[in-house]
Structure 1
């Protein structure tokens, strides 16, 4: 495996770790069905507590997978997958090019 592929794998580790949790996957899928939601709205769809949802949203925000928009006292969360998807596409391209033999 080439150095470029290894470096991309290492760069993708935080995204993989964040996406590996089923609750965070559920939150991302829920946000994909709605343009934006508050913590309370997300909690209404989940069996998790509000603090647990907030924790998962913080991790997703820290990795750039969701964004937050403050409107008055409400914080609205929405998807922001573009950068992560582009990174993962780049990784797949390099792996296909360097690691899969025709």
Structure 2
């Protein structure tokens, strides 16, 4: 396996770690159902505390799975999956072209 393939795999590790947590999965699915939500609104739907929700949102922000918009004193979170999807597509392309002997 070439260096580029290894780099592509390794660049996806933080994304996989972010997506592996069920609380973050729940937040992603919740945001998929709503245009945008505040931390307090997300907390109303979740069983976690507000600080725990904020922690998970920080991880989702760092991995560009959500984005935040400040309006007055409120911070609104919404899904921003395009960068993550592009990263996963690059990984799939790398696997198909570098790692697999058979074509799909």
In the other structure, the counterpart of 2:54 is 54
Give TM-score, length-normalised by structure 2: 0.92
Query: Structure 2 unaligned runs (5+)?
Result: none
Q: TM-score, normalised by structure 1?
A: 0.94
- Secondary structure of 1:94's partner? helix
SS of 1:60 mapped into structure 2 = helix
Deviation sequence 1:57-84 (CA, Å, 0-9, x none)? 0111122111111111111000111111
Aligned counterpart, 1:42: 42
Kindly state the Cα deviation for residue 101 of structure 1 after the two structures are TM-superposed: 2.2
The alignment yields a C-alpha RMSD, in angstroms, of 1.0
Runs (5+) with no aligned partner, structure 1: none
Counterparts of residues 44-83 of structure 1 (less than 5 Å): 44-83=44-83
Query: Partners of 2:8 and 2:81 in 1: how far apart?
Result: 17
Which aligned pairs between 1:1-102 and structure 2 lie closer than 5 A? 1-102=1-102
